[in-house]
Structure 1
Amino acid sequence: MKDAKILPLVQDESWLKSHADAVYERFVRYQSAIRDINSHSGSILEFARSHEYYGFHFEKLRNGWVYREWAPQAHNLFLMGDFNHWNKYSHPMKRNYRGDWEVFLPYEEYKDSFVHGSKVKVHVEADNGAYDRIPAYIRKVDQNPENHDFAGQIWFPKKEFAWTDQKFSSKSQKKCPLIYECHIGMAQEKEGVGTYLEFAENILPRIKAAGYNTIQMMAIMEHPYYGSFGYHVSNFFAPTSRFGDPEDLKFLINKAHQYGIAVIMDIVHSHAVKNINEGLNEFDGSENQYFHPGPKGYHEGWDSKLFDYGKFEVQQFLLSNIRYWMEEFHFDGFRFDGVTSVIYYHHGHTDFDHPDKYFNDGVDQDALLYLQLANTLIHTFSESKISIAEEVSGMPGLCRECEDGGIGFDFRLAMGIPDFWIKTMKHKPDEHWDMFEMWHELTNRPKNERTIAYAESHDQALVGDKSIAFWLMDKEMYFNMGIDDKNLVVDRGIALHKMIRLITISLGGEGYLNFIGNEFGHPEWVDFPREGNNWSYQYARRQWSLADNESLKYKQLGLWDKAMIKLIDEFKVLSASHAQQIYLDAEKKILAYERADLIFIFSFNISESFFGYELTLPKVGDYLNILNSDDSKFGGFDRIDNKIHYSTNKNGVIKLYLPNRTCMVLKKIE
């Protein structure tokens, strides 16, 4: 008889057998939590509806507006705003039968003053003093650019947004996600903040033409400081007003769906801004309402507050937040920020050099449970929704179903791959690039857990670091990117830029991610306006004119990326099983492998080109070169004839011409 404690995750990963009890215990905790939620609310979908109770709502039966707030340790709450001329004390809130604070505004009395767009705050008297706060469930926040003051806004538009995306489903994107990571504010070429509507008009057509099927939006949840890249969230239910109104965001997502593009949000449930005036910190006067008290509730590296995931009300707040974004804005899923920090009390600041550390070294079991519940909610809401974890430790079962003993994500970001590329470029001359290490870094992942591969994301482009293009070419990009310019640094950089992307997308995972503009080698770094750069937007924008200019090599890199994405999509490479290595020559720096019935061949050799180079392919027959990085339209030197058919002998041996720093893809002719 099978041991009931041996879950499928442990059965599939034999190295976990000594930790079978720990895996089973987290499964039991999950089952118990689901039972409690079902007992409390009927289902996890119903449990995730607190945003329909708290905040501002019009109640037809009572014919008026009700505002509710959870603030268990506060002494007094008062609603104030434009409607009462900001009188702090004229509208006291009272505790209702549930212990929540509540105030009711009759329609007839307030129909002319409590109106769409008017501003509100809640005055809270508590142990920490008296503060004017923004309601926790506010749907829109107004930012005054002159004094940086935040205020909640009543948002009851007369006409509901008219969605036209009823037939759209992200089911196919979930199978083979080609993700375009983007930031709305920095997406335009102008030196300023871009808008949702500008993105819909100017950038969505570019993404569609480039072949990406999913966009990952950063910095959507309201945040006080623009330069935080959206990672210091203050108002979890409010799309940032910097980029426009909520209806503008809906228009953008609806438009993306019309293009057949899925939209996922970079959701920040890993921490929150510590600001008292704008955020949730000490809302009811205590340290332990939403967050852990004391040092446990503070992330020193991020200077932010950490949620208490074990608290029932916090679980409901965060899960309702997930449902809200899917239901109200039609997001197709989420990329969860900082999952490693969430999972471990030490936030990942250790070497994960022993399996014990995944189960016994500072693991926050409440946080793991919350992530299981979040993924259960997402996939119960719709099977086509996508969940991605930004996780670096390699937590076993992260992308396995909860019923198998896992955490329930669909994908994990392969954070080790961009780290590998940056370290290689920074610390190793080309002749010391290690082909065995390259193969290992790009293939070392569980067979039953799906991975999003990427060469670089926004993390690698931030000021203090450099994009891959800038690591490869640096200042030469300012002077030698013309089509006819002769420059060895740029020639090398363009060749490696193309190769790094193709080997990463074809070998590294079951999905792929690119940061906005990096597909054409966007120069320089990302740096938001701040005092240190005189509040400049010079580096907080994307220079599309470079990619559009026929006389620049940026255009060629963009064409390569488009051709690469098209090939990967057409042949369903990402949904194919893991690649099989055909050949590796460490000395000559040549690597070949098969995936999705295509043959990928790379020569990282720095100077030698090889004539009649022999490789043994898995299948005998004739092959056609369907993609070649040395094509002149991609910034190459046309050393490879694309018209040649390559034939194997009876033993499957093929002879090729392999120029240095090139890659090609062969397809068997049926």
Structure 2
Amino acid sequence: MKQEVQVYSLFTEFDISLFRSGKHYRLYEKFGAHLITHEGQDGVYFSVWAPSAKLVSVIGDFNYWNIDDHPLNVRWDESGIWEGFIPGAKKGDKYKFRIVSNYNGEILEKADPYALRCEHPPNTASIVWELGYKWKDKKFMSRREEVNALDKPYSVYEVHLGSWRKNTLENRSLTYLEMADELVSYVKEMEFTHVEFMPIMEFPYDPSWGYQLTGYFAPTSRFGDPQEFMQLLDAFHKAGIGVILDWVPSHFPEDKHGLGKFDGSHLYEHPDPRKGYHQDWKSLIFNYGRNEVRSFLISNAVFWLDKYHIDGLRVDAVASMLYLDYSREDGEWEPNAEGGRENLDAISFIKDLNTEVYSSFQGVQTIAEESTSFPKVSRPVSHGGLGFGMKWMMGWMHDTLEYFKKDPIHRRYHQNDITFSMTYTFTENFVLPLSHDEVVYGKKSLLGRMPGDDWQRFANLRLMYSYMYTHPGAKLLFMGAELGQYAEWNYNTSLDWHLLEQDSHYGIKKALTDLNILYKKQPALYDNQFSEEGFEWISFDDNQNSVISYLRKGTSEKEILAVVCNFTPTVLKEYSIGLPKKGKLKEIFNSDDTKYGGSGVTNEAIKIEKEAFHGKEFSAKITVPPLATVVFKLT
């Protein structure tokens, strides 16, 4: 039986004006389902954007999913917003919007785009919820600006929550609350400064790893409710660890309950398939030129920073947003109004996003996963940039992995592969990523790429990590990298924790822990990590020995490290390196140390002589261990 939906609105005329101009960045305070008391009655205010709808009603537990009971009222201002107050609806009720399209009378049942909680997949209903929570992270939030600063250590442990560790007795993933204990203590033990979650927003299909979202404002129900997710975040902050979320504004799936053809029209996606459909991912692309869609996306980014105290957003697939011809052949794309291949609407959207984030939240970072040479990705919008804080260094990742898979006997012919990154490393604020994408789809695990016998493979892996941590830039490692896994990552199974019972695998974990400690304790590794003042070559052209050496320098003249990497299994004795001043060399890290599973070729304190070498006034003779990185402090 049709019931009265009371006229009520959370929108002011100013809200409507901002929304329609693409400048409303707090839409989650207006759209969706909100528990309120109206005229003495408890209930829920519902609102949804569906400008091409002929009729919108709310169906749910409170009306036994009767399609006729609660039709919403369309606003008079042509905003396309349908809204109303339903007395008696309550927290925990499941619901959807039933939409009758104006186009052809098509009937759609859609989840709420602004739902705060969703049903556990494969069920698809939204759930009335509220986000009340008493945060306990005041201390962390007060110093977050320092924790997240570009001149501070930034080492990230990338995690897929569903497969990090399983409850073996019940054959299930850990809950948010279990992770608040086990995952937090582990990341703390490993000495990472940050954790990054692959997408936790609700998604229907496990094999997508979370990159095909349907519930943009809801943490996935797979591991618990929103407040339990907040407890996990709180626990990380209590441990002094920042939290980054993967965020996906580049595309969304075609699932019937999702955003696709939401009101029968191309509402969220671009109507032209050349701009609105991803052929690679079989998904839809947001219409970045539509103001209301821009408001939706930027509001979503702001939501996680505002309501969940998130410290950073890693923005997925930025390259696919920037270029109209991304993964398209000639004839499958149309140039922009200026005749170019850039997606001008997407670029404008990205600039608006970063401008809002950095102006509204102190101490956060946005990080671009961007694989092209698009200029100034991590430069401020005011300086002609896209406005991201950092950018993934995909070129470094590719060149490094290609180099390390070569037999050491051939590396002398590929010295440029390992040195080339330094020709452009200071053009952006780069993150060095060894992410989940590098250990799937037949690429092999990182250990599996390494050549040689078992000893050499583990030595190569320690060498690569040590080179990574002494190279300028922030660091990111995908879970399992610290275990030296033999197998590729599988989203459906736990990491191979049993490997830590073997000394060689435990040595990898110990080496990475110590590299994180080294990174934190040595200002020379982070003070100028995005500035050319922080790096100086000692020698990049000793290809006969496959050795590179360089200085890392802090803001203080006293903070200087010398790093030597030997990419062959040959021990080099009496190896000379040029140095900038007198004093002594003190070895502070050596990936060949026996505690890591190495051969134990180390150096005692070495006197620096006044003998010119490598174009420098002073020099020293060192022993270079096999397949290893050794780090000295100039004292």
| TM-score (ref. length: structure 2) | 0.87
Pick the aligned partner of 1:503 from 451, 454, 467: 467
Give, in angstroms, the shift of residue 497 of structure 1: 0.5
2:149 counterpart SS class: helix
Distance 2:415 2:611 in 1: 29
Q: Alpha-carbon deviations, 1:279-324, whole Å to 9, x = none? A: 1000110124443443421100011100011111001000110111
Q: Alpha-carbon deviations, 1:334-357, whole Å to 9, x = none? A: 000000001111226699xxxx99
1:120 is matched with 95
Amino acid in structure 1 at the alignment position of 2:270 = F
2:435 is matched with 457
**Do the aligned partners of 1:45 and 1:380 also contact (CA within 8 Å) in 2?**
no
1:588 is matched with 545
**Do the aligned partners of 1:93 and 1:101 also contact (CA within 8 Å) in 2?**
no
Amino acid in structure 1 at the alignment position of 2:352 = L
**Do the aligned partners of 2:378 and 2:390 also contact (CA within 8 Å) in 1?**
yes
1:255 is matched with 235
1:631 is matched with 593
Pick the aligned partner of 1:156 from 130, 135, 140: 130
**Correspondence 1:234 to 2:214:** yes
Distance 1:609 1:552 in 2: 23
- Cα distance, 1:39–1:59 mapped onto 2, change above 3 Å: closer
Distance 1:349 1:500 in 2: 35
**Correspondence 1:217 to 2:197:** yes
**Correspondence 1:615 to 2:577:** yes
Distance 1:557 1:77 in 2: 57
**Correspondence 1:366 to 2:345:** yes
How many percent of aligned residue pairs carry the same amino acid? 27
Distance 2:596 2:449 in 1: 20
**Correspondence 1:574 to 2:526:** yes
**Correspondence 1:522 to 2:479:** no
Pick the aligned partner of 1:600 from 563, 577, 581: 563
**Do the aligned partners of 2:116 and 2:130 also contact (CA within 8 Å) in 1?**
no
**Do the aligned partners of 2:624 and 2:630 also contact (CA within 8 Å) in 1?**
no
Distance 1:69 1:500 in 2: 51
Amino acid in structure 2 at the alignment position of 1:363 = E
1:215 counterpart SS class: strand
2:401 is matched with 422
Give, in angstroms, the shift of residue 151 of structure 1: 0.8
Greater shift, 656-665 or 333-342, is seen at 656-665
Q: Equivalent residues in 2 for 1:317-466 (5 A)? A: 317-347=296-326, 361-426=340-405, 428-433=406-411, 434=413, 436-445=415-424, 447=426, 449-454=428-433, 456-466=434-444
Give, in angstroms, the shift of residue 41 of structure 1: 4.3
1:166 is matched with 138
Give, in angstroms, the shift of residue 399 of structure 1: 0.8
Kindly tell me the number of residue pairs found equivalent between the two proteins: 586
Q: Alpha-carbon deviations, 1:544-564, whole Å to 9, x = none? A: 3433x2x43111111101111
- Cα distance, 1:375–1:463 mapped onto 2, change above 3 Å: same
- Cα distance, 1:270–1:500 mapped onto 2, change above 3 Å: same
Amino acid in structure 1 at the alignment position of 2:566 = S
Distance 1:292 1:257 in 2: 42
Amino acid in structure 1 at the alignment position of 2:620 = I
Pick the aligned partner of 1:553 from 497, 500, 504: 504
Distance 2:323 2:259 in 1: 22
Amino acid in structure 2 at the alignment position of 1:580 = E
**Do the aligned partners of 1:333 and 1:378 also contact (CA within 8 Å) in 2?**
no
Pick the aligned partner of 1:541 from 464, 485, 494: 494
Distance 2:15 2:624 in 1: 62
Greater shift, 188-197 or 308-317, is seen at 188-197
1:57 is matched with 34
Give, in angstroms, the shift of residue 647 of structure 1: 3.2
Amino acid in structure 2 at the alignment position of 1:518 = A
Distance 2:592 2:425 in 1: 33
Give, in angstroms, the shift of residue 439 of structure 1: 4.1
- Cα distance, 1:575–1:438 mapped onto 2, change above 3 Å: farther
1:30 is matched with none
Distance 1:46 1:493 in 2: 53
Structure 2 residues not aligned, in runs of 5+: 1-13, 554-559, 613-617
Give, in angstroms, the shift of residue 409 of structure 1: 0.4
Structure ranking higher in helix proportion: 1
Give, in angstroms, the shift of residue 610 of structure 1: 2.0
Amino acid in structure 1 at the alignment position of 2:464 = I
1:657 is matched with 623
- Cα distance, 1:500–1:308 mapped onto 2, change above 3 Å: same
- Cα distance, 1:142–1:601 mapped onto 2, change above 3 Å: same
2:606 is matched with 645
2:305 counterpart SS class: helix
Amino acid in structure 2 at the alignment position of 1:457 = S
Q: Equivalent residues in 2 for 1:166-315 (5 A)? A: 166-168=138-140, 169-171=143-145, 172-175=147-150, 176=152, 177-189=154-166, 190=168, 191-277=171-257, 279-315=258-294
**Do the aligned partners of 1:82 and 1:118 also contact (CA within 8 Å) in 2?**
yes
Give, in angstroms, the shift of residue 489 of structure 1: 1.3
- Cα distance, 1:121–1:288 mapped onto 2, change above 3 Å: closer
**Correspondence 1:47 to 2:8:** no
Give, in angstroms, the shift of residue 38 of structure 1: 12
Give, in angstroms, the shift of residue 93 of structure 1: 1.5
1:167 counterpart SS class: helix
- Cα distance, 1:618–1:292 mapped onto 2, change above 3 Å: farther
| CA root-mean-square deviation | 2.5
1:68 counterpart SS class: strand
Distance 2:508 2:243 in 1: 25
2:5 is matched with none
Structure 1 residues not aligned, in runs of 5+: 1-36, 474-487, 529-536
- Cα distance, 1:380–1:39 mapped onto 2, change above 3 Å: farther
Amino acid in structure 2 at the alignment position of 1:594 = L
Amino acid in structure 1 at the alignment position of 2:608 = S
**Do the aligned partners of 1:624 and 1:646 also contact (CA within 8 Å) in 2?**
no
Q: Alpha-carbon deviations, 1:628-648, whole Å to 9, x = none? A: 11110011011224x443433
- Cα distance, 1:440–1:592 mapped onto 2, change above 3 Å: closer
Distance 2:108 2:86 in 1: 26
1:273 counterpart SS class: coil
Distance 2:414 2:482 in 1: 24
Distance 1:511 1:243 in 2: 30
Distance 1:404 1:103 in 2: 42
Distance 1:120 1:436 in 2: 60
Greater shift, 255-264 or 417-426, is seen at 417-426
Distance 1:287 1:633 in 2: 60
